Amino acid sequence: MAEATLDPVFQIQRVYLKDVSLEQPNSPAILLNAEQPKVDIQLGVDATPVSDGVFEVSVTATIHTSIGDKTVFMVEAKQAGIFEIRNMQNDQLGAILGIACPQIVYPYLRGNVADVIQRGGFPPVHLSEINFQAMYEQQQQQAGAAAQAAAEAPQIIV
């Protein structure tokens, strides 16, 4: 008798703003500077198991604007979602956590970041679209290269 296969489950339980901060350490003096600030944007994705078949996936953005060596403003925001994911193979689960879930959470992060910056008195910074599949594949390649380098490293036994 063949075993019954269970249908895959993918459900969004909740999307929420987990953390946000805005710092303007050099205000008000820096606001009088007419020079265009340099903008540095860093993004990160994290997936954490919450319980059996339930995961929290968060996308973090750090936006740092500066003129010379002085900070105009810095925003750090973390948007998260809780997802129920069951009956998936491990390779599918990794792709869902690294690609599909961040694609769902990211638009909320973009809106919240633009809103916080605008409420801080600045023109909004609109984060560009992100190809989470390319980002995930790059991380997988880097992890594979690091594992291979570690396996090829000489072993020292003391």
Domain architecture of the chain: domains with CATH:
9-152 (3.10.420.10)
pLDDT band, residue 140 (cuts 50/70/90): confident
Share of the chain above pLDDT 70, in %: 92
CB 134 within 8 A of CB 98: no
Instruction: Give the confidence band of 153 by pLDDT, cuts at 50, 70, 90.
Output: low
Provide the pLDDT for residue 90.
84
Count other Cβ atoms within 10 Å, centred on residue 70.
13
| Cβ–Cβ under 8 Å, residues 123 and 116 | no
Integer-rounded Cα radius of gyration of the chain: 21
The answer on pLDDT for 84 being more than 60 is yes
Do residues 62 and 113 lie in contact, with contact meaning Cβ atoms separated by under 8 Å?
no
Would you place residue 31 in the very low, low, confident or very high pLDDT band (cuts 50, 70, 90)?
A: confident
Dig out the tokens for 125 from the structure.
Answer: 């910074």
3-state secondary structure of 50: strand
Query: pTM for this one?
Result: 0.83
Give the confidence band of 6 by pLDDT, cuts at 50, 70, 90: confident
Tokens (6 digits) for 105? 């959470």
The pLDDT tens digits for 101-138 are 999 999 999 999 999 999 998 888 889 999 999 988 88
